[in-house]
Structure 1
Amino acid sequence: MIASRQPLPLGRASLLGLAGTLAFLGLWAAIAHSGLVQHLFLPTPIEVTRRFLTLLTTPFAGGTLTAHLVSSVQRFLSGYLLAALVGVPLGLMMGWSRLLDDIVTPVFDALRFIAPIAWVPFAALWFGTGVGGPILIIFAGAFPPCLINAYRGARYVDPRLMEAAAMLGTPGYRVVTEVMLPAALPSIVAGLRISAGLGWQSLVGAELIVASTGVGYMMVQAQGAVSTTTVMVGMIAIGLFGVAVDTTLRLIETRIRIHLGHA
């Protein structure tokens, strides 16, 4: 029998995380200084850090790093919120209505296996380099987890709660909002967390092709200028924002589970 994994104390977990980060940076610096890779293509961590600080105040490809990141975040939030506003209610309704489930599922199952990047040609044709293209691609990446997790949460609601609400003559919309939604909330938040990661990754892929601002666009321009440090700065900015979003949603998910556990 395999013992369940116990969470490490916060202080110890932080120290282990710091040790892993330092080991990674040390390995990176060692390879950069060894000459195994040309310096042009693998700058040292210190050089990338200096470039990061420089780009905070010095424009590159039409804007500073902060300006490009703000542009990316605005696109991400637009597509992500649209996916959540459509996917979560639709998933709940599909879990509640067998008829709607049978109507939507075949189309959804066909579309959800299309990679978000596959929508890039259509986005370029329909929207050019405007904001609509990246939003479409973000939506394509973020929508499926929102719907699937809301649907699963709705399907696993205790049937006795649904039956009790029906016996009391509760209207359908109140069954969804007052019975099904609270019970499915942990699953919904877990889906939003997955959705955020996929949406952010989809955005960066879109900006590499169909955008004229943003971190992805900045990286493409840096590639053309053979500025490896700028490319790596863009990657670091993408990773840091992604970690911030995931950490925030993880905390929300934990709070909800604790609250429901004590309810």
Structure 2
Amino acid sequence: MAKRNFLGPHGTVLGLGEFWLLTLAGFALFFGGWSLLAWSGWLPANLLPSPRAVWATLVRLWENPFAGHVYADHLLASLGRFLMGWAIAVAIGIPLGLLMGWYRLLDEIVTPLFDSIRFVAPLAWVPLAALWFGTGIGGPLLIIFVGSFAPCVISAYRGARLVEARLVEAAQTMGASGRQVIQHVLVPGAMPSIISGLRVSAGLGWQSLVGSELIVVGAGLGYLMVQGQGNLATDVVIAGMIGIGVVGFAIDVALRGVEAWFRKRWGQTA
């Protein structure tokens, strides 16, 4: 297996050991600074609990229900909503982007409306989602969908536009139909761009999760944080934030692995 290097400041190359050492140093500085600030007494403990106190709260939340559920139930509820909303965005956005890149007329029809809507922040849809869906699951799914949809369309569109014209012409010369060109030339050629876009899409969708759970729901990390704020429990709020960060990082790592696999298959460098 080839040795993997990482770029440091000014283009210097870091080995794997140096990379992880610097990563751990960054975490140590962050948690050390947090601990010093908490223990200094400059802020009351109820506003800035120490890392140790937050860890104790996390352990307690795994065992004892808060806001009606234990921590694992809140996490799974959020993850389930995210996966559903993101899957809908991927299922609609990627085919739409490919078709827009392939059919110029569709591109000209959809692009002005798409460019107008995609700049509306996902949180701006919260009141409308609440009016449309009330307390049902449709509201959170809409917010996550809105956050995830645009990157799916853009990445697929750009991927389709980057497919070399000679490959399309060669397939058409051999008698391939429009559907066959899309299936065997357009989709494989656009796939690296699509996979890269999925990382961006998943990140924005997961960030939209908290806003989606401001709509009346009965469980979820966002709901846990809102209930913690209502009970003046800063440690619970930070525990929810930690869960969102860790799961978001895990999602990105998984998609990064998928991206690396596709790039290797298509003979591209990461």
TM-score grouping bracket, smaller chain normalisation = over 0.9
Counterpart of 2:111 in structure 1: which amino acid?
T
Contact 2:139 2:215 in 1 (8 A): no
Q: Please report how far the alpha carbon of residue 4 of structure 1 lies from its aligned counterpart in structure 2 after TM superposition.
A: 8.2
Alignment of 1:170-189 (within 5 A): 170-189=176-195
Q: State the partner residue of 1:45.
A: 51
Sequence identity percentage: 53
Q: State the partner residue of 1:80.
A: 86
Contact 1:120 1:210 in 2 (8 A): no
Distance in 2 separating the partners of 1:98 and 1:245: 34
Q: Please report how far the alpha carbon of residue 173 of structure 1 lies from its aligned counterpart in structure 2 after TM superposition.
A: 1.3
Q: Deviations over 1:105-163 (max 9, x none)?
A: 11111110111111101110111121100000000000000000000000011111011
Q: State the partner residue of 2:220.
A: 214
Q: Does 1:140 align with 2:146?
A: yes
Q: Deviations over 1:184-226 (max 9, x none)?
A: 1111011110000100111111112332211101111110111
Q: State the partner residue of 1:155.
A: 161
User: Where does the alignment leave 5 or more consecutive residues of structure 2 unmatched?
Assistant: 1-8
Q: Does 1:117 align with 2:123?
A: yes
Three-state SS of the structure 1 residue aligned to 2:33 is helix
Q: Which moved more, 1:10-19 or 1:228-237?
A: 10-19
Distance in 2 separating the partners of 1:69 and 1:18: 26
What root-mean-square deviation, in Å, do the aligned CA atoms of Structure 1 and Structure 2 show? 1.5
Distance in 1 separating the partners of 2:16 and 2:171: 42
The change in CA–CA distance for 1:208 and 1:7 in structure 2 (over 3 A counts) is farther
Give the paired residue count: 261
Q: Does 1:25 align with 2:45?
A: no
Distance in 2 separating the partners of 1:215 and 1:86: 27
Distance in 1 separating the partners of 2:239 and 2:185: 46
TM-score (norm 2): 0.93
User: Where does the alignment leave 5 or more consecutive residues of structure 1 unmatched?
Assistant: none
Contact 1:129 1:212 in 2 (8 A): no
Q: Does 1:238 align with 2:250?
A: no
4+ residue segments displaced more than 6 Å: none
The change in CA–CA distance for 1:131 and 1:60 in structure 2 (over 3 A counts) is same
TM-score (norm 1): 0.96
Distance in 1 separating the partners of 2:76 and 2:177: 43
Q: State the partner residue of 2:112.
A: 106
Contact 2:147 2:201 in 1 (8 A): yes
Q: State the partner residue of 1:9.
A: 15
- Of 250, 258, 262, which residue of structure 2 is paired with 1:256? 262
Q: State the partner residue of 1:61.
A: 67
Contact 2:93 2:149 in 1 (8 A): yes
Q: Deviations over 1:36-69 (max 9, x none)?
A: 1111100000010111111111100010110001
Contact 1:80 1:138 in 2 (8 A): yes
The change in CA–CA distance for 1:18 and 1:221 in structure 2 (over 3 A counts) is same
Counterpart of 2:248 in structure 1: which amino acid?
G
Three-state SS of the structure 2 residue aligned to 1:261 is coil
